[in-house]
């Protein structure tokens, strides 16, 4: 199997899901510009190729993260082409919008299939390569919704909270093999997340939600193109982090995300302190 050096690249080999648009495209472009090889994956390879462009250090592979066979074949294609995988970026995602009570179970299930189980499937396909290498870096793109749930995004928050809990535990399991993990919590970045394909709305079902639903739909409809943060800057930061000897287990990206994380931490502290005496009085008297 050819090494990265034999393919003309002396850098890392990146494996990126959801590379046809948005953050995934920016991650692939930034990694290539930094001298790394990239395996850019997506459900439609023509769309990925058009988004990322051409490079001798680029492999475009078909990958629907809900299909286990796709994950296995894409990982094998990466190994056949470059001989290793150094950085996995679990980026593919979808964000269903709607109140929990109105959402169909099938919608909730698909939300989890893409954002949580999809990342798990791809990681399971890549981990044997990284274990053999005794090196690697698993990066999963979470959200501000992984830190705090918001109404009208309950299924999305469930997928991101699940992703973060899984990544916390996974770190302990794979660190002995020399594999690092990083959870990224982006704030509002100007991507295609607000397209119909990336952000589907559930159908109305309960009259009691009509007024608030209309407000939410109107608000979300105005957010496209108004996000304050530049995804190219996040991509550059991720390239820098992946090059570190001791990368962070969490990277909070964007001033708005930092404010959210600090508020979450302060709120947890306040709630712990409010009932500290009662909480710490539950041991057996022996």
- Over residues 107-164, the pLDDT tens digits come to 999 999 999 999 999 999 999 999 999 999 999 999 999 999 999 999 999 999 999 9
285 in a structural domain? no
H/E element holding 138? Answer: strand 136-141
List the structure tokens of 67. Answer: 């299909």
63 in a structural domain? yes
107 vs 259: CA distance, rounded Å: 31
Q: Across residues 57-70, what is the average pLDDT?
A: 97
pLDDT-derived band of residue 67, with 50, 70 and 90 as boundaries? Answer: very high
Query: 42 near 18, Cβ under 8 Å?
Result: yes
- Tell me the pTM: 0.92
pLDDT-derived band of residue 194, with 50, 70 and 90 as boundaries? Answer: low
Q: What is the CATH number of the domain that holds 209?
A: 3.40.50.720
126 in a structural domain? yes
Selection from 224, 240, 229, 122 nearest residue 186 by Cα: 229
Sign of CA dihedral 243, 249, 253, 259: negative
DSSP state letters, 22-41: HHHHHHHHHHHHTT-EEEEE
Written in H, E and C, the secondary structure of 86-98 is: CEEEECCCCCCEE
**Residue holding tokens 């469930």?**
158
32 in a structural domain? yes
Beta-sheet strands, E only, within 103-148? 136-141
Question: What does DSSP say about strands 87-90 and 136-141: parallel, antiparallel, or unpaired?
Answer: parallel
**Residue holding tokens 């995988």?**
85
pLDDT-derived band of residue 238, with 50, 70 and 90 as boundaries? Answer: very high
List the structure tokens of 73. Answer: 């074949």
9 vs 22: CA distance, rounded Å: 25
Q: What is the pLDDT of residue 249?
A: 98
Q: Across residues 276-280, what is the average pLDDT?
A: 95
7 in a structural domain? no
Give percent helix, percent strand, percent coil of the chain, each to the nearest 5: 50, 15, 35
192 in a structural domain? yes
191 vs 220: CA distance, rounded Å: 14
6 in a structural domain? no
Query: 62 near 79, Cβ under 8 Å?
Result: no
φ and ψ at residue 162, rounded to 5 degrees: -65, -40
Q: Which residues are known catalytic residues?
A: 142, 156, 160
pLDDT-derived band of residue 220, with 50, 70 and 90 as boundaries? Answer: confident
pLDDT higher than threshold 80 for residue 21: yes
- Over residues 169-182, the pLDDT tens digits come to 999 999 999 999 99
Q: What is the dihedral of CA 223, 229, 231, 236, to 10 degrees?
A: -170
Structural domains counted in the chain: 1
Q: Hey, how many other C-beta atoms are within 10 angstroms of the C-beta on 132? A: 12
Three-state DSSP state, 183: strand
Q: What percent of the chain has pLDDT over 70?
A: 91
Average pLDDT, the chain: 92
Query: 138 near 128, Cβ under 8 Å?
Result: no
Query: 38 near 31, Cβ under 8 Å?
Result: yes
Domain span including residue 32: 13-279
pLDDT-derived band of residue 2, with 50, 70 and 90 as boundaries? Answer: very low
199 in a structural domain? yes
Q: Is 187 exposed, middle or buried (0-12, 13-18, 19+ CB in 10 A)?
A: buried
């Amino acid at each position: 199997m050819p090494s990265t050096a034999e393919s003309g690249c002396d850098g890392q080999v990146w494996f990126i899901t959801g590379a046809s648009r948005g953050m995934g495209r920016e991650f692939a472009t930034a990694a290539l510009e930094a001298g790394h090889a990239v395996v850019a994956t997506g459900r439609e390879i023509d769309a990925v190729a058009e988004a990322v462009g051409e490079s001798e250090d680029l492999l475009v592979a078909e990958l629907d993260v809900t299909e286990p066979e796709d994950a296995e074949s894409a990982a094998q294609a990466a190994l056949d082409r470059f001989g290793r995988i150094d950085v996995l970026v679990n980026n593919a995602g979808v964000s269903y919008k709607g109140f929990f009570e109105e959402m169909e179970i099938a919608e909730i299930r698909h939300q989890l299939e893409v954002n949580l189980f999809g990342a798990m499937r791809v990681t399971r396909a890549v981990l044997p390569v990284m274990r053999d290498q005794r090196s690697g870096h698993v990066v999963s793109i979470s959200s501000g919704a992984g830190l705090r749930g918001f109404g009208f995004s309950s299924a999305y928050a469930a997928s991101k909270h699940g992703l973060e809990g899984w990544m916390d535990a996974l770190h302990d399991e794979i660190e002995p093999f020399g594999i690092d993990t990083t959870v990224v919590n982006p704030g509002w970045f100007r991507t295609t997340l607000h397209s119909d394909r990336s952000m589907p709305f559930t159908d109305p079902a309960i009259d009691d939600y009509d007024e608030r639903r209309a407000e939410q739909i109107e608000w979300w409809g105005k957010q496209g193109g108004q996000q304050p943060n530049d995804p190219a800057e996040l991509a550059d930061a991720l390239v820098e982090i992946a090059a570190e000897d001791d990368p962070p287990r969490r990277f909070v990206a964007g001033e708005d995300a930092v404010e959210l994380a600090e508020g979450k931490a302060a709120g947890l502290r306040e709630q712990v302190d409010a009932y500290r005496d009662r909480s710490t009085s539950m041991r057996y008297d022996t």
